[in-house]
Amino acid sequence: MRNITLSRFLIEEEREKQVICADLRFLVEIVSRACKAISVSIGKGALAGVLGSAGSDNVQGEVQKKLDVISNDILLEANEWGGHLAAMASEEMEHPHQIPHRYPKGEYLLLFDPLDGSSNIDINVSVGTIFSVLRCPEGVEPNEQAFLQPGVKQVCAGYAVYGPTTLLVLTVGDGVHIFTLDREMGHFVLTQSNVTIPADTREYAINASNARHWEPAVKRYIDELQAGKEGARGADFNMRWVASMVADVHRIISRGGIFLYPRDKRDPSKPGKLRLMYEANPMAMLIEQAGGMATDGRQRILDIQPTELHQRVAVILGSKNEVERVTSYHSS
């Protein structure tokens, strides 16, 4: 890729393609710097005393890890001062984070899951940061209502995955591109461009321990896959499940597959487990930009009109033909 750094890539998207503006370019660069800092903290692990519980719960009532809190603080502090944001929202915080009055405000809204998959951090499994960017509606105060826009309004989405290498996977509405952190130079360097997800796959990811709670459509689909060559599909399928959305989705971005975290019968008031604004929407934008498909089993995720900041939804995304199949089972 001719050693194209993230900064050079963004400048070319702005100057030559006119896909983004200077403020959005700056925003992405600041987020990438925050991801580098998070990567360093994760890399130190027990040596820096950052593993284990923080002794607190987040807004969803989930136990926070120390690195949840550290990652959230890194993203907030990195993005407060630049003048490109109107406000921020985090999965770890009940309300939007307002830009301090001593700093100028911009036109964008940043949403993030600071450390997705943090329940795996103590066993050294890949985790990540997911982020989404919206424009703040003109003339609207950057309160919770300003964030409640459907995913189709996103102008940028991405995630960092902290594994054997640190990767940044990004879309600004012009395809999906993967950058690898050169730890010696301190730069993200373009290593894959215009990633495409195969339309067909023989891999699926789902938490099979919830099978007894699934709706009939999902049970029918998974039963078909598990029947293998002797079943209706006439092919063997492999199941892969990391329990870190970033890791599971990155596998799909890399080689295809389908990821399912469907609604189930345990609590009818909760239509899913994953958060629409912090997880489902940015991942759906990336998947669609790479030629895949993302639904909640009934409709396109990017068309869902949010009603609350921490809204949960079912998620089915990945290789287009498989997502279409399981979605059709819901409608029939």
How far CA 224 is from CA of 117, 242, 319, in Å, comes to: 29, 22, 17
CB 107 within 8 A of CB 122: no
CA distance 191 to 167: 9
**What φ, ψ does residue 326 adopt, rounded to 5°?**
-70, -30
**What φ, ψ does residue 305 adopt, rounded to 5°?**
-85, 115
Token couple for 20: 């983004």
What is the model's pLDDT at position 4? 96
Strand (E) positions, 256-313? 258-261, 274-275, 293-295, 312-313
Helix (H) or strand (E) holding 146, with range, is helix 144-147
Strands 177-182 and 187-192: antiparallel
What is the model's pLDDT at position 211? 95
Section 96-120 average pLDDT:
94
Per-residue model confidence as pLDDT tens digits over 127-179: 999 999 999 999 889 999 999 999 999 999 999 999 999 999 999 999 999 99
CB 224 within 8 A of CB 35: no
What is the model's pLDDT at position 265? 84
If pLDDT is split at 50, 70 and 90, which confidence band does 98 have? very high
pLDDT of residue 47 exceeding 90: no
Section 37-61 average pLDDT:
81
| Level-2 CATH architecture, domain 203-331 | 3-Layer(aba) Sandwich (3.40)
Has this prediction a pTM greater than 0.85?
Answer: yes
Which of residues 332 and 68 earns the better pLDDT score? 68
CA distance 196 to 92: 32
CA distance 260 to 316: 4
List residues bridging with 161 in a β-sheet: 128, 167
CA distance 146 to 309: 10
Section 267-289 average pLDDT:
93
Minimum mean pLDDT among 18-22, 68-72, 199-203: which range? 18-22
Domain with CATH 3.40.190.80 in the chain: 203-331
What is the model's pLDDT at position 59? 64
- For the chain, give the percent of residues with pLDDT over 70: 97
Residue 36 CB-half CA count within 13 A? 19
What DSSP assignment string belongs to 204-222? EE--GGGGGGB-HHHHHHH
pLDDT of residue 1 exceeding 80: no
Section 291-301 average pLDDT:
97
- Please report, as a single letter, which amino acid is at residue 217: A
What is the model's pLDDT at position 60? 66
Domain with CATH 3.30.540.10 in the chain: 6-192
Homologous superfamily of the 6-192 domain (CATH): Fructose-1,6-Bisphosphatase, subunit A, domain 1 (3.30.540.10)
Per-residue model confidence as pLDDT tens digits over 192-246: 999 999 999 999 999 999 999 999 999 999 999 999 999 999 999 999 999 999 9
Mean of the per-residue pLDDT values of the chain: 94
Section 27-35 average pLDDT:
97
Section 253-277 average pLDDT:
91
List residues bridging with 135 in a β-sheet: 108
If pLDDT is split at 50, 70 and 90, which confidence band does 45 have? confident
- For the chain, give the percent of residues with pLDDT over 90: 83
